[in-house]
Chains A and B, each alone.
Chain A
Amino acid sequence: MNSSNHPTLPLTSFWNDTGKCGVSAWVFSTDHKRIGLLYLYSVLISFLVAVLIGLLLKIELMAPGRTIMGPVTYNALFTVHGVLMIFLFIIPGFPGVFGNLVMPIQIGASDVAFPRLNLLSWWLYITGALTIVLSLFTGGGPPDTGWTFYVPFSVRTGTNVSLAVIGVFIVGFSSILTGINFVTTIHRLRADGMAWGRLPLFVWSIYATAWIQILATPVLGITLLLVVAERLLGTGLFDPSRGGDPIMFQHLFWIYSHPAVYIMILPGMGIVSEIFPVFARKPIFGYKMIAFSSLAIAGAGSLVWAHHMFTSGISDMAVLVFSFLTFVVAIPSAIKVFNWVSTLYKGSISLEAPMLFALSFIMLFSIGGLTGLVQGAAATNIHIHDTQFVVGHFHYVIFGGAGFAFFSAMHYWLPKFFGRTYSEKPAMISWGLMFAGFNLTYFPMIILGMKGMPRRYYDYLPEFAPLNLISTIGSWILAAGLAIMMINLFMGLLKGRPFGSNPWGGATLEWTTPSPPPTENFDEEPVVTHGPYDFNRAGVP
């Protein structure tokens, strides 16, 4: 990470213009770009570890019966996989990495509103992550509850749930502080001329996300503290034998965790909203509706949590209401999809790596969204609840949707911050492998679920064997694509050909400053004179 990796970079970028390049100049830096890169490395490590665990799970499911592990190990591994992916990769990933790297530049600011708080957020993230790692090797060993920590099992199991839950609590605190920082930044630090109607759609999505982080995460916090209290003090609040109600745990948990799925997907939607206009060479269609629908999703999405509990024993009336509200949230999501498609219509589309990932986002997210409605409808939910259908569905949304948007953003924005770029050909090959492998892995799960194969089991009936085998082979193709993508990307970022200030021809502010940007982001404070998708004026603020 020292400047010698960048021999030909201009001596004016944030990598070297302060003259401080050692490790401590990074881990104690308050520069949003350095913090963004710290987040990048940390969430990618979590992601890659969790991918390896996912592959092990798939190998176990390759054939019926015990293949490489028994039920106890399987339970521990899917729990760790889920916890790492959700709490250490996808939730902190978007705000932490691209919110930090890109958002302040896009609004023309020189940093976030509270730079030191920003650094504290990263340190809290690391502390929480290490606590979670510690929980795997101490006490009763890795938790085996699933990432949802449902009571009564999470209270009774002998595994190290308490420490893992405390780790998640700390990561949640980090998420809250990031949310507060970003809302304040977007309200207070927009450059002159950066009216709300000129905010790039990525900023709108980060704004909506930040509100969810602020309003939902505290509820997760108290829920997790209550689990610890149940375990350590025996408070009995969720224990029916002592008058408590386990359903209350599910309510509290999903009051956070449903809105949290929008923390995962909204920034992804913002990212593709940036990429489509640039790679279709056409202004975005329906700017206002896309911006507004982010807020609508954030708002309406807070009122649907009990659709995870249709089979838990809530009243029929509640089922009806929550089912209806779930369908309502589909509307703003669909509005976005239609606007993206209209943006592409008659555009002059150039199929480069970021665009390929963004286009496949639409398809995969749509499959994820539509299978979501199957679960949101009360009647069909009963049939597929807790089956592999659910696993297929949420991988389509968070991996096919949010994950592919993340990769899209890595190809689109990271060269800006490294000043060097990857090779196009391997990037396209890796995309092809990932797209094919992805569908091969997860579409069979959707079918398996409809046929009745439950989730969270290491074993299954022989009739499910063929589809499971296809799915496992798919996961290897997917992994091969991922490996090529990561290697190509990072080789390119560190050693590839130089990347100019605006090779894609984007019209947002990050493309008006050099690649990599200087520590202060802009040589002089920008005064914004046009909207984010006004390509006639691309390259000037």
Chain B
Amino acid sequence: MIRKMEKEYAGAKLGIWLFLFTEILLFGGLFLLYATYLSSYPREFAIAGREMHLGFGTANTILLITSSLFAAMSVTAVQQGEIRKVLNLLGATIICAMIFLVNKYFEWSSEIGHGFYPDSPRFSAGPIGEALFFSLYYLTTGLHGFHVLAGVGLLTVVALKVRRGAIHAGDYVLLENSALYWHLVDLIWIFIFPLYYLVL
């Protein structure tokens, strides 16, 4: 019986790592396009990159890294059986994620308001590379934002399970795996942030 539990724990960990690989490959396609189009249109990318709001980007980076810290701490807390603390930390993670999304909303609105979007009148006149930059930017951050949203849902379910006692010091692999997923969402942002906000 103990052996079976061990197998399940190790199996669940193996499974989530494989899943995380598939997520990296999913975003990999977009990063690949970024690399090729950057090399085709370096000047246009640089001009378009200057339109990014560094403030929003930095704030969101700090938010996500902090939330990742909370998620990691919640795993330690559940191992020590401190359920109250787990719930608080998960709540803090979720709140950070929501602020991230709200920020994203304002950032996108301001950019769209300035006429930076695919097919916009501004781009149909201008040099062609800049529109590509923005298309990639919306697709990549959009897909990432969707993952943040999914993470909020996932962490909420996990928090409910912790409260119901279904996740506890003896069996917390779902919490641990959700935290791993959350770190991945963070990690992908760590690549998006410099590529779109800093290097250009």
| Residue ranges of A at the interface with B (Cβ–Cβ < 8 Å) | 113-114, 117, 176, 179-181, 183-185, 187-189, 214-215, 217-219, 221-223, 225-226, 229, 233-237, 242-245, 248, 252
Contact = CB atoms under 8 A, between A and B. Distances in A.
A187 B14 CA distance: 9
Contact of B28 (A185, A217, A219, A226): A219
Contacts of B143: 225
Given A113-B11, A189-B7, A222-B29, A237 B21 contact: no
A377 to B, nearest CB: 27
B25 A215 contact: yes
Given A222-B30, A226-B29, A245-B36, A183 B18 contact: yes
B41 interface: yes
Nearest to A181: B15
B26 A180 contact: no
A226 B15 CA distance: 27
A219 B29 contact: yes
Given A114-B15, A183-B18, A218 B26 contact: yes
Given A242-B131, A248-B36, A222 B26 contact: yes
Interface of B: 7, 10-11, 14-15, 18-19, 21-23, 25-30, 32-33, 36-37, 40-41, 44, 118-119, 128-129, 131-132, 135-136, 138-139, 143
B121 to A, nearest CB: 13
B30 A114 contact: no
B11 A184 contact: yes
B36 A243 contact: no
B18 A235 contact: no
A219 B22 CA distance: 9
A243 B30 contact: no
Contacts of B29: 218-219, 222-223, 226, 252
B135 A180 contact: no
A248 B18 contact: no
Nearest to A237: B135
A217 B37 contact: no
4 residue pairs, one from A and one from B, having the closest CB atoms: A243-B128, A222-B29, A218-B25, A235-B135
A176 B25 CA distance: 12
Contacts of A214: 18, 21-22
A242 to B, nearest CB: 5
